[in-house]
Structure 1
């Protein structure tokens, strides 16, 4: 039972799922800053739908399926990179509202910083912790300090990831700080 709960928490805190709820909350609180529903839909497509497509594609393509979890993570990373880079470029090319640029820049920089720590420095930092702490930081920046209570979710994420044997506490804390710092850098640009 404990393992099922940990897996459920892990699924609902996947980066694309967190992106959906983050964008939705920002849109609800700042609809006028999106300048219409088009940029809201655009954000959902590039930060939620395209990245999450990696998971069903992994399951239906036999070559990926045979490789297991490692190839699933790799495919998710590839989809996220393509989507974040393309989405961010288009926000500048088509002059998206500042709030949309801020959201995309936060996700792009979180991905870059996390990749640098994990691949460049060869220190394993939790993508889940980054993918939750970054959006919380973004919500605090865009909606207000009243969203700080969301950081109470972090121990639940930690419990889930430790329980599943995916990370230790140091990797989770590092991932949390990567998410917070990269998001703060992103929002400071605007």
Structure 2
């Protein structure tokens, strides 16, 4: 029963899924998305394109043959490409300031995670990073109301440990990457 619950939590807390929760939470609690096109834009580039990797993998035999490893690699590639394109477009179309923060936070986090995973060869948790970073910018936008979303981080930790997908060190590193990269963006853009 606990393993089944851990799997459900892991699915709900994939980076694209949690991005959708965060975007809708921000939409409900702020006026950032006064122009509704930016809400749809965020959903497209932070949720739909990245999550599509899980469907596309079924059509790429070499990725499918790699199992979870191939799935993870393709998800990173889709997310990174989507964040790069989304970030370019939010600046090109002069999106509201806080939307720029959101995209730069996702982009910087994914670049740092890619470096840690590929160069340093530590499997830092994308799940933990994808929860911690958005919680950080959401808290900076909304404040204490974000506490309701904060339950996702300990649940994610529990699920990933229960499924033996990560160690505490890997989860800590992913959490720190999410928080620190988002804080860096907030400091730079508020500087």
TM-score (norm 2): 0.92
Give distance in 1, aligned partners of 2:30 and 2:153: 25
Alignment of 1:29-178 (within 5 A): 29-31=29-31, 33-148=32-147, 150-178=149-177
Contact 2:20 2:43 (C-alpha < 8 Å) held by counterparts: yes
Structure 1 unaligned runs (5+)? none
- Within 2, Cα distance between the matches of 1:40 and 1:149? 21
The Cα RMSD (Å) is 1.5
Q: In structure 2, what is the Cα distance between the partners aligned to 1:11 and 1:45?
A: 19
Q: What per-residue deviation string (whole Å, max 9, x for no partner) do you get for residues 6-34 of structure 1? A: 11110000000011111111112223x33
Shift of 1:71: 1.0
How far the C-alpha of 1:83 sits from its partner, in A, is: 0.3
Residue matched to 1:12? 12
2:13–2:152 CA contact under 8 A, matched in 1: no
Within 2, Cα distance between the matches of 1:85 and 1:27?
Answer: 23
Secondary structure of the residue aligned to 1:165 is coil
Q: State the match for 2:26 in structure 1.
A: 26
Structure 2: gaps of 5 or more residues? none
Report the Cα distance in structure 2 between the residues aligned to 1:35 and 1:120, rounded to whole angstroms. 41
Deviation at 1:149, TM superposition (A): 5.1
Q: How many residues align?
A: 189
Alpha-carbon distance change, 49 to 21 in structure 1, aligned in 2, over 3 angstroms: same
TM-score, normalization: structure 1?
0.93
Kept in 1, the 8 Å contact 2:125–2:166? The answer is yes
The 4+ residue runs of structure 1 with deviation greater than 6 A are none
Instruction: Give the equivalent residue in structure 1 for 2:187.
Output: 188
Does the CA-based 8 Å contact 1:46-1:84 persist in structure 2? yes
